[in-house]
Structure 1
Amino acid sequence: MTTRDELRLLPWAGPDGKPCYLSTDDQGGYVSRLADHIEAFQHGMASQLLEHARQVLDDDTEDLEVLRLLASQLTSALRDVLRVATSRGRRPAAPGHP
């Protein structure tokens, strides 16, 4: 069994929103690869959402409901990106990932 410092924080939450961890030395295993793909997807979505936010905020005609939706989406994206950043801070970078 590995120590908590060696566990990989996965990019999804478990039941009740609790964090999920992976205990393995195999960075090429199925769950590790799945987590890498989900992290890359979350990063891409956050980048796209940031660009959309810039457009919405530059448009004076947007209504309050659009701004609320944008704030909700940005909150979710920020949560995902912070989870990845926390995970990357706890483990060496995977091959092919900076």
Structure 2
Amino acid sequence: MNHLRRLPFNGPEGKPAFIPVNNPDGALSRFADAVEAQQLTVGQTILALVRPMLDVALTADEARYMLRRTAECLSDALGVAESRGQRLGLSDEPISGTAADLLSKALKQATPDA
């Protein structure tokens, strides 16, 4: 079976791009690894900048800008997680069990209005 790796960027037509996983040390695989690492670093930076802004009065434009950047970083991080999960052979099935239940409970307590 030929396994493919989803690249952290789209192809020339805007569609998802894939490469075979049989050469993890190849130039394109290393480049994809570097792009993923950079995406996660940018996400950490944006998170560090956004957290203090949560307690500041923002204009609607400022809030939208902050949300757009945060959504872009979350999208990138989820893409990295999905790609790495596929390479590890993880299932797309929802997480269940004690850890998932505890996480769900903690999230509900942290965001009572959600």
TM-score when normalising by structure 2: 0.71
Find the aligned partners of 1:77 and 1:67 in 2 and give their Cα distance.
Answer: 15
2:58 equivalent to 1:65: no
Instruction: Specify which of 87, 90, 101 is matched with residue 91 of structure 1.
Output: 87
Distance (Å, rounded) in 2 between the aligned partners of 1:58 and 1:71: 14
Identity %: 35
Which whole-Å CA distance do the structure 2 matches of 1:9 and 1:28 have between them?
16
Runs of 4+ in 1 over 4 A off after TM superposition: none
Q: For 2:61 and 2:50, how far apart are their aligned partners in 1? A: 14
Residue 31 of structure 2 corresponds to: 34
SS of the equivalent of 1:47 reads: helix
In 1, Cα distance between the equivalents of 2:74 and 2:10? 14
Counting matched residue pairs gives: 88
In structure 1, the partner of 2:10 is: 13
- Separation in structure 1 between the aligned mates of residue 21 and residue 35 of structure 2, nearest angstrom: 18
Distance 2:22 2:59 in 1: 49
State whether structure 2 residue 60 is matched by structure 1 residue 52.
Answer: no
5+ residue gaps, structure 1? 93-98
Aligned Cα RMSD in Å? 1.4
**Cα displacement string for residues 39-93 of structure 1 (whole angstroms, at most 9, x for unaligned residues):** 0000000011111111111213x2111110011111111111111111001114x
Aligned residue in 2 for 1:95: none
Secondary structure, in 3 states, of the residue corresponding to 1:25?
Answer: coil
TM-score where L is the length of structure 1: 0.81
Structure with higher Rg: it is 2
- Bigger mean CA offset, 11-20 vs 41-50: 11-20
- Secondary structure of the structure 2 residue equivalent to 1:91: helix
